[in-house]
Amino acid sequence: MTAAPVRLMLNKAHYPVTSLGPGTRAGIWTQGCTIGCAGCVSQDTWAADPGTSVDLAALQDWLAGLPEPLDGITVSGGEPFQQPEALAALLEWVGRWRRERSAPLDVLVYSGYQLARLRREHPGLLARCDAVITGPYVERLHTPGLRWRGSGNQRLTALTALGHERYGGPEPGGAPPMQVAVADGRIWFIGVPGPGDLDRLEARLRASGITVEEVSWRS
């Protein structure tokens, strides 16, 4: 009997991503999150909608077809660890694929869960990540200048030699870069905005005659 194809609920996938991890990366945002952090800017990723499921093989083909440079893959959400089977299959494939590549490629995964819980419940998944950024977003703990983390309580943990090489030092400072991507009738803001940043951006768009009808940072 042939095994059923593995599917992943996916909000979006994008290349190049330069604001969530070092270098030029592929970004994968999973769909579905029950954590419900107040002030989450990705509320469009909350609903675990099976209609967003994609065949993992299609995502792998997309990754394998990306141009260089490709320094890493960032998986965010949504809550990636709420789809452990699909995440495991994806990261297992990435592990095999990157061994065939000449340039090193790291895997950074975001989670709203604390690292201790992930170590307890998903040690096998953590073993496939080079680094993780863990913990819920806490708006009042937003710390200006954190490049890859939304709030100061979130922890960046390097888990492998490559992870230590790329994430072990001090997190780069300075204003976090934000990217804007337009695809499929949606405008995406990629990066770590501060509280109110997206409302201010919406106001500036409105002042320029551009009306934003639905936004991901308000329910």
What residues make contact with ligand SF4 under the rule CB under 6 A? 33, 35-37, 40, 42, 45, 77-79, 112, 136-137
Residue nearest to ligand SF4 (CB): 112
Which residue number, 45 or 52, has a Cβ lying nearer to ligand SF4? 45
Which residue number, 98 or 122, has a Cβ lying nearer to ligand SF4? 122
- Assigned token pair, 92: 């297992």
Residues 6+ apart with CB under 8 A from 11: 29, 30, 31, 42, 44, 45, 52, 77, 78
Shortest separation between residue 150's beta carbon and ligand SF4, angstroms = 7
Print the SS3 string covering 79-141: CHHHCHHHHHHHHHHHHHHHHCCCCCCEEEEEECCCHHHHHHHCHHHHCCCCEEEECCCCHHH
Which residue number, 78 or 191, has a Cβ lying nearer to ligand SF4? 78
Within a 13 Å sphere around the CA of 29, how many CA atoms are in the beta-carbon half?
21
- Inter-residue contact 81 to 8 (CB < 8 Å): no
Which residue number, 32 or 162, has a Cβ lying nearer to ligand SF4? 32
Shortest separation between residue 60's beta carbon and ligand SF4, angstroms = 24
Shortest separation between residue 29's beta carbon and ligand SF4, angstroms = 9
Shortest separation between residue 88's beta carbon and ligand SF4, angstroms = 19
Which residue number, 16 or 112, has a Cβ lying nearer to ligand SF4? 112
